[in-house]
Amino acid sequence: MNTWRYAGYVAALRHDYKIVLMDHRGRGKSDRPKELEAHTMEAYVSDVISLMDNLGIEKAGFWGYSDGGLVGFTLASRLPDRIVALIVSGNQGQWYPKEDILSLIQALRKRGMKVIAERLEQSEYFRGPLRSNLLGTDPEIFALNEEAWLKWCNYELVPPGFSVPTLIINGELEDQAHQGERLAARLTNSSAITLPGLGHLGAYVRSDLVLPTAKEFLRATCHPL
């Protein structure tokens, strides 16, 4: 959850909204279950709802980045009465290609988190706390996460009838076909932005470019404090 602080989102939003950050399974201070069944999408969605219930939060907006975007789409499609608004960064409403995930799982178990670090070091932004945070992740947990979703998640992320207002944010380098924009165009009360010249991580860390649109979206969908 520290990445949201590093990238500047918490400081920019905390005065207007109640922000709840969570370390999902195997990350940060959360438990690190080593059973494949503990990392299904159902388990991750259940964790979010359990946290909301424990905090007495009936409805909330949800902002997910990368794999967190997959959780967000699943939450919003299955529990639209609990999620009033969805922001997704780094996903276009689709599962990642199976071949890419299988390759990632194999690389994580062979070389650890260095394999991801090396890929990101060639991109437009990867240094400082973000790099340290990534390298501190347990590679086996990461691999189990991807393996479980690959095995169990065969449903459509954004099914017909999807109704939760959604903002989709991508970098041009990760969504050159502007699939995020096309998805938003067919959803109700939804929109998308594609940040020129930026990739998966670069678009996320440029909160200065993201926040003006995100704040406008949140003002229209979520009640401020």
Range of the domain at 69: 2-221
- Gap between the Cα atoms of 209 and 190, Å rounded: 18
* Cα-trace Rg, the chain: 17
Question: Is the separation of the CB atoms in 69 and 96 below 8 Å?
Answer: no
End-to-end CA distance of the chain: 22
Q: By CB neighbour count within 10 A (0-12 exposed, 13-18 middle, 19+ buried), where does 145 fall?
A: buried
Q: What is the model's pLDDT at position 225?
A: 65
Q: CB count, 10 Å around CB of 66?
A: 17
Task: Please state whether the predicted TM-score (pTM) of the whole model is above 0.85.
Answer: yes
Q: What is the model's pLDDT at position 117?
A: 80
- Gap between the Cα atoms of 193 and 14, Å rounded: 23
One pLDDT digit (tens) per residue for the chain, 225 residues: 688 998 999 999 999 999 999 988 877 778 889 999 999 999 999 999 999 999 999 999 999 999 999 999 999 999 999 999 999 999 999 999 999 999 999 999 999 988 888 777 776 666 667 777 777 889 999 999 999 999 999 899 999 999 999 999 999 999 999 999 999 999 999 999 999 999 888 899 899 999 999 999 999 999 776
CATH code assigned at 202? 3.40.50.1820
Task: Report how many domains make up the chain.
Answer: 1
How many distinct helices (H) and strands (E) make up the chain? Answer: 11, 4
